[in-house]
């Protein structure tokens, strides 16, 4: 863990973009304490996780189902207003852009929240899509300095859209390993026009 802290501090010193993905925060004391300590010592441009992981960071306690969100925390249409208020508050407190992933994705700073409805439920059956998204976010915010909120929202849209595009070419005999590769191919081939036409979001 010390190496993670040293890398984060060095990235801050060099002016590099830094993304925190607190995988499994709440699933164990070690993971929770590590994520909370990193937030105290490193300035993160973006903090990305499922709703349960983000609530753990905001409140310092809670529960998750391994790397998956607790179902009682889900961002739903019925709970959307309260979820938006929460993510804006945590963005202000952490001074980071917050990306909450799920059936409905939220990307927010203290003032503006993108509500994103790209993606497919089947993406949840593939281990590693969250890690892929963290890498895409890092690439987008590095390529678009000064536009961290918009770049993060675009990255989340792109990943969800890749899931939609990848699913279109799936055959009945294909499984989740094929779907994983289809999504990677969709990201590889995605251009600005495809993203602009396919992004499904609103701003509040």
Continuous H helices in the chain: 2-14, 29-41, 51-59, 80-94, 129-143, 148-168, 176-189, 192-198
Span 63-83, mean pLDDT? 74
Question: What is the structure's pLDDT at 28?
Answer: 87
Question: What is the structure's pLDDT at 24?
Answer: 85
Q: Is 142 within 8 Å of 19 (Cβ atoms)?
A: no
Question: What is the structure's pLDDT at 3?
Answer: 93
As its CATH architecture, domain 2-199 has 3-Layer(aba) Sandwich (3.40)
CA distance 158 to 155: 5
pLDDT above 80: residue 62: no
Under the banding of pLDDT at 50, 70 and 90, the label for residue 70 is low
Span 37-55, mean pLDDT? 96
Enumerate the domain spans of the chain: 2-199
Q: Is 202 within 8 Å of 157 (Cβ atoms)?
A: no
Instruction: Check residue 163 and give left, alpha or beta (phi > 0: left; psi -120 to 50: alpha).
Output: alpha
Question: What is the structure's pLDDT at 61?
Answer: 65
Instruction: Check residue 97 and give left, alpha or beta (phi > 0: left; psi -120 to 50: alpha).
Output: beta
Length of the chain: 204
Which is higher by pLDDT, 65 or 192? 192
Span 56-75, mean pLDDT? 69
User: What is the bridge-based pairing of β-strands 105-108 and 113-116?
Assistant: antiparallel
pLDDT above 80: residue 199: yes
Span 126-152, mean pLDDT? 96
CA distance 81 to 97: 18
Q: Is 62 within 8 Å of 56 (Cβ atoms)?
A: yes
Q: Is 27 within 8 Å of 66 (Cβ atoms)?
A: yes
Under the banding of pLDDT at 50, 70 and 90, the label for residue 68 is low
Question: What is the structure's pLDDT at 201?
Answer: 98
Supply the mean pLDDT for the chain.
93
Q: What is the CA radius of gyration of the chain?
A: 16
pLDDT above 90: residue 15: yes
């Amino acid at each position: 863990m010390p190496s993670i802290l040293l890398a984060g501090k060095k990235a801050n010193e060099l002016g590099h973009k830094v993304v925190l993905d607190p995988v499994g925060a709440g699933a164990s004391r070690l993971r929770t304490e590590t994520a909370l300590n990193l937030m105290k010592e490193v300035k993160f441009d973006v903090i990305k996780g499922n709703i349960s992981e983000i609530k753990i960071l905001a409140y310092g306690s809670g529960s998750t189902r391994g790397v998956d969100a607790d179902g009682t925390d889900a961002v739903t249409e019925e709970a959307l207003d309260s979820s938006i208020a929460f993510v804006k508050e945590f963005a202000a407190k952490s001074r980071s852009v917050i990306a909450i992933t799920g059936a409905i994705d939220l990307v927010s700073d203290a003032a503006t929240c993108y509500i994103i409805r790209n993606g497919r439920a089947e993406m949840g059956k593939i281990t590693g899509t969250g890690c892929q998204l963290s890498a895409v976010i890092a690439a987008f915010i590095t390529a678009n300095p000064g536009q961290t909120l918009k770049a993060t929202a675009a990255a989340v849209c792109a990943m969800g859209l890749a899931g939609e595009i990848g699913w279109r070419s799936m055959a009945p005999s294909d499984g989740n390993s094929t779907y994983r590769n289809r999504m990677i191919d969709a990201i590889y081939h995605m251009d600005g026009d495809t993203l602009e036409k396919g992004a499904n979001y609103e701003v509040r």
